[in-house]
Amino acid sequence: MRLHRLISWAGILAAATTLAEPPAISPEERILREAESFQEQIVRVVSTVRPSSVTIFNLVKQGNALVARSGGSGVILSTDGHVLTNEHVIKDAAKLEVAMLDGRKVTATVEGHVPEYDIALLQLRDDKGKPLTGLKAAALGNTTGMKSGDWVIATGNPFFLGASGRAVVTLGVVSGLNRIVPGEFFYGNCLQHDAEINPGNSGGPLWDDQGRLVGINGKISSRGGGSVGPSSSGVGFTIPVEQVQNYYKQMLLGAAGGIQPGDLGITVETVRDDKGKEIGAKITEVRAGSPAATGKSPLQVGDVIECVSLKFQSTTIRNATDYTNLLSLWPVGTKLDSIQVRREKALRVLTGFVLAAASKETKEAKK
């Protein structure tokens, strides 16, 4: 009798266990569920970041009136109305107006800018000219751990489709890192991605898949013109958030004429070993009177820069691009901890360098 009861209870428990187990799903169903989950996550992120994305109108005088000549996008960096955008979005404006998600349209003044690197900081103001408060600031991320293939989201005002203040959303992936894009506005250390950005997206934010700000969209690569100018080819370039952070405090001080990027006053080219491996940035010119020439231990033509230590972080310099990208992140007055160079096969660690105003001649890094 006892054995019979044990067998009965065993059968009941087995049946209960079977009922508790979730039914097996096919690989196709699993993929579909994961896609739906990802879609829901993107929708949540967009809802979170949209209040921090704004539309900017560049107004110019036309007779006695002010008219919108051009426009762009921006991102709110602080609850008291600081907005980040591109220099080329606000250039030569007689007045700046900003439209927000809640429908408000307010004025903005230029707080500070880094003209060469296409960065500008605005202050939103109320009807009485006082700083606007109570805004939703972007959560800051970083590009340090980003990889090609990571998802990114762009929000902005392409072709004035976000004129009401409700940002247009596009989705893509990181295509490349640490790009150098020269031109009127120099982009160093920038991200390349394929989230579609078009005229009007300039100055707008790029977000990671968690809704953190990783950069400011500014340039596209395009072969076409058309009636509205160049448009997206899937190759967009973004100023990294780290560069903005390094200049932020100085922009708040509103330096007259804009903030100057830092420079050592040297020209470099990539050097390789006998097997073709990149081993550093070789100095081909040291300009007279520059920090490189007047430091405690001056740099010399022929020195190969292998490492730069700055703010207690060491960066390996494998080529000229690494050097240019590192320096593009830092403003005038930044003190380097040390520079490690190889001089006539001997390794030297040199100190005492403070970055001065950048020379455009150094921006065309040779590869």
- 3-state secondary structure (DSSP) of residue 71: strand
Mean pLDDT by groups of 10 residues along the chain of 367 residues: 46 52 77 85 96 97 90 96 97 96 96 94 95 96 94 96 96 95 91 96 97 96 62 88 91 77 93 94 94 89 95 92 90 92 94 80 42
CA distance 189 to 158: 24
Task: List the one residue out of 178, 185, 158, 179 whose CA is nearest residue 169.
Answer: 158
Parallel, antiparallel, or unpaired: how do β-strands 212-220 and 139-140 relate?
parallel
**Which pTM was predicted?**
0.82
* Cα dihedral 125, 131, 135, 139 sign: positive
pLDDT score of 42: 94
Catalytic residue among 52, 53, 73, 88: 88
Q: Tell me: the pLDDT tens digits for 51-92?
A: 999 999 999 999 889 998 899 999 999 999 999 999 999 999
Residue 1, pLDDT score: 46
Strands 278-286, 65-76: pairing is unpaired
Annotated active-site residue 126? The verdict is no
Rg (CA), the chain: 26
pLDDT digits (tens, 9 = 90+) for 233-286: 789 999 999 999 999 988 988 765 688 888 999 999 999 999 999 999 999 999
The helix (H) or strand (E) run that includes residue 172 is: strand 168-181
Examine the residue annotation and report whether 118 is marked as an active-site residue of this protein: yes
Is the distance from CB of 362 to CB of 177 less than 8 angstroms?
no
> What single string gives the DSSP state of each residue in 253-301?
TT-TT-PPBEE-SEEEEEEE-TTS-EEEEEEEEE-TTSHHHHSSS---T
Identify the burial level of 98 via C-beta atoms within 10 angstroms of its C-beta, where 0-12 means exposed, 13-18 middle and 19 or more buried: buried
Does the active-site annotation cover 88? yes
Both tokens of 113, joined, read 């800018």
> What are the structure tokens assigned to 347, written together?
């390794």
Q: How far apart are CA 276 and CA 191, in angstroms?
A: 26
Round to whole Å and give the CA distance between 351 and 117: 27
> Using CA atoms, how far apart are residues 348 and 367, in angstroms rounded to an integer?
24
- Where helices occur in the chain by DSSP H, the ranges are 2-20, 27-49, 87-90, 241-252, 291-294, 320-328
Given the residues 202, 232, 290, 328, the one annotated as active site: 202
Which residues are 340's β-sheet partners? 307, 349
> φ, ψ for residue 32 (rounded to 5)?
-65, -40
Q: Which of 70, 78, 113, 118 is catalytic?
A: 118
List the beta bridge partners of residue 154: 170, 206
Percent of the chain predicted with pLDDT > 90: 69
CB 308 within 8 A of CB 339: yes
* DSSP code for 319: S
How many Å apart are CA 173 and CA 187, to the nearest integer? Answer: 19
Look at the alpha carbons of 176, 178, 249, 121 in this order and tell me if their dihedral is positive or negative: negative
What domains sit in the chain, N to C, each tagged with a CATH number? 27-258 (2.40.10.120), 262-363 (2.30.42.10)
